[in-house]
A = this chain, B = another copy of it.
Amino acid sequence: MSRSRAIVKVDTVPESSVFPYNHLAFLSQNEISLLIDRTDRMLYPLIRSCSLAVLSSGMATDHDTCLSAEYPNFDMDFERHPRGLKVVLKNAPAQAFVDGVLIETIHDHLFSVLRDLLHSRDLGRHLDQLTGPDSADLVFQILRNAKVLQSDRELSRIVCWGGHSVSKPEYDYAQAVGQELGLRRFDICTGCGSGAMKGSMRGAFYAHKRQKYSAGHFIGLSEPGIIAAEAPNDMVSDLVIMPNIEKRLEAFIRIAHGIVIFPGGPGTVEEILYLLAIFATPDNKEDPLPVVLTGPESSRSIVDAYVTFLETALGQGITSRIDVIIGDASYVAETMQAGRDEVKKYRLETNDAYCFNWCLVIPDLLSTSFAPTHESMSELNLSLSQSSQKLASELRRLFSGIVAGNVKPETRQLVNESGPFKVHATPEIGGAIESLLKRLISENRMKIDGVYTPCYRIIPNC
Contact = CB atoms under 8 A, between A and B. Distances in A.
Contacts of A58: 210
Nearest to A182: B98
A140 B30 CA distance: 11
Nearest to A183: B98
Contact of A351 (B82, B105, B108, B347): B82
Interface residues of A, number: 70
A401 to B, nearest CB: 32
A329 interface: yes
Nearest to A140: B28
B99 A1 contact: no
Interface stretch (A211-219, A406-414, A434-442): A211-219
Q: How many copies does the complex hold?
A: 4
Given A7-B176, A83-B151, A151-B84, A211 B30 contact: no
Contacts of A84: 151, 353
A234 interface: yes
Contacts of A330: 3, 7-9
Interface stretch (A188-196, A201-209, A383-391, A444-452): A201-209
A77 interface: no
B209 A108 contact: no
A137 to B, nearest CB: 5
A70 interface: no
Identify the 9 closest CB pairs spanning chains A and B, nearest first: A25-B151, A104-B212, A7-B330, A98-B183, A104-B211, A80-B351, A82-B347, A82-B354, A26-B144
10 contacts: A1-B176, A3-B179, A25-B151, A26-B140, A26-B356, A28-B140, A29-B358, A81-B351, A104-B212, A210-B234
Given A22-B151, A105-B212, 4 more contacts: A21-B152, A26-B356, A84-B353, A206-B234
